[in-house]
Structure 1
C-alpha cells in the first residue's frame, strides 16, 4: 500500500491541560468567592473544588489570591467595557446632555451579566465586594482601557463640583449600583430582569442628580477636604 493509498488517521487532539486547569480554577473561585466571600475561602479549597491535585497549580497560574481575582475580572470586564463603549458613543453622538442615558451606560453593561451562565452572576457579587472593601485588594476601576474612565469624564460636567472633587459621588454611585446587582445575582434567577434594571437606572440617575444641600456644603466648608482611599481617588 502506497502512502497515497493509506487511510488518513485523525490527529490526536491537542492537550488543553494548562488552559483547562486554569479555567477550572477560575470557575471554582467564582463560585466559592460569591458564596462565601473573598476572604472566606482558602486557596486550597479552591484547588480542591477545581479537582486539582497539584499543590502548586493555583500559584503557577495566578500567583496568589489577588492574581486569581484579576483573572476573574479579565474574564468578564472586556464584555462589560465593550457594551459600555457602545452606549457612551451613542450618548456622545446624540449631542444631548442626558444624565439618565449616562446612568444606563453604567448599569446596563454590568446588568447583562445576570444572564451570563458562565460565572456572570458570581462576577457581579465579587465586584460588589471588591468595590466595597475599605482598602482595594484588586483595582476594579483602574484597568487599562476601562470604559469607566470615559463614563466619569462624561458624567462630570453634569454634577455639582463638590460631587466630583470632595464627595466622590461617582464612586458612591458605582458602589450602590454593584451592590444592587450583586443582591439580584445572589437571588434565584428571574425570567425577566428588565423591570429591575430599569428601576436601577432610575435610582442611579437620582443618586447622581442629588444636589449638595446647604447643610452639607456648610460642613464641607468647615471641615475642608478629607483623606480618601486610593480606590476612591481613582474613581472620582
Structure 2
C-alpha cells in the first residue's frame, strides 16, 4: 500500500467513524461497520490503521483538536493579561464553535462530541487526552486565577458542566443545520454560549441559613 493510499484510507476511516459514532453512538458501531461504510474491502482496516476502537476514537479527538488549537491560540493571545473571567471561559469553550463554523456543512463533530460527553468512560478517556494540550491548560489556569473569589473545586465542577452545555448546544445546532439543510450560522451560538457559560461559572453561591 502506497503512502498516499494509506493516508486516503485513514482519512476516510476517520470521517466515517466520526459520522457513524455521531449518528448511532460509539458502543454500537463496530470496526467492521466503519470499514465497510468507508468503502474499504478490508474488514480489519481499522485495526491496521489505528488499532482498536479506543485508538480510533482518540484519533478523531486528536485530529479535531489539532484543527481547534489555532483558534484557541488566537483567543489566548487576544486575552493575555485580561482580568475578566469571561475571556478565559470563552478561550476554553468557544474554539469548538469557531472550528464548526470554519468546517462548513455538513459536520458531525459536535454530535460525536456529545456522544463522548454523555458516556462516562469515553468522557474520562477523552478528558485525559485533551488535558495534555498546553493551551487548554493555560486557559484553565487563567480562569482559576480570575475566579479566586470562588471555591476552586466549585469552579472546576461548573467548568465541567459548561463543557457538557457546549456539547449539547453545538450538537443541537449542528443537527438542526443538517435536518433543515440550512446555511451554517454559528456566530449567534458563540454569543449565546459566552453569556450562558459566564453566568453558569460566576453565579453567586447560595448561602444556607
> For the superposition of Structure 1 and Structure 2, which TM-score range results when normalised by the shorter chain?
0.7 to 0.9
Identify unmatched segments of 5+ residues in structure 1: 1-13, 219-236
- Once the two structures are TM-superposed, the CA of residue 46 in structure 1 deviates from its matched residue by 0.7
Is it true that 1:183 corresponds to 2:175 in the alignment? Answer: no
- Once the two structures are TM-superposed, the CA of residue 163 in structure 1 deviates from its matched residue by 4.6
- Separation in structure 1 between the aligned mates of residue 115 and residue 20 of structure 2, nearest angstrom: 13
What are the Cα deviations for residues 32-88 of structure 1, in whole angstroms up to 9, with x where unaligned?
A: 111111123121111110111112211011111111111111211012122112212
Identify unmatched segments of 5+ residues in structure 2: none
- Once the two structures are TM-superposed, the CA of residue 161 in structure 1 deviates from its matched residue by 4.0
Number of aligned residues: 201
Per residue, is there more helix in 1 or in 2? 2
CA RMSD of aligned residues (A): 2.4
Whether the 8 Å contact between 2:105 and 2:183 is mirrored in structure 1 is: no
Corresponding residue number in structure 1 for 2:192 = 199
Q: TM-score, normalised by structure 1?
A: 0.75
Q: TM-score, normalised by structure 2?
A: 0.84
Corresponding residue number in structure 1 for 2:15 = 27
Q: Secondary structure at the match of 1:121?
A: coil
Structure 1's consecutive aligned runs of 4 or more residues displaced over 6 angstroms after TM superposition are none
- Separation in structure 1 between the aligned mates of residue 105 and residue 187 of structure 2, nearest angstrom: 20
Corresponding residue number in structure 1 for 2:66 = 78
Equivalent residues in 2 for 1:71-150, closer than 5 Å: 71-92=59-80, 95-117=81-103, 121-136=107-122, 138-143=125-130, 144-150=132-138
- Separation in structure 2 between the aligned mates of residue 44 and residue 118 of structure 1, nearest angstrom: 28
- Separation in structure 2 between the aligned mates of residue 118 and residue 146 of structure 1, nearest angstrom: 27
What are the Cα deviations for residues 153-191 of structure 1, in whole angstroms up to 9, with x where unaligned?
A: 111133354353686122121121222112111221444
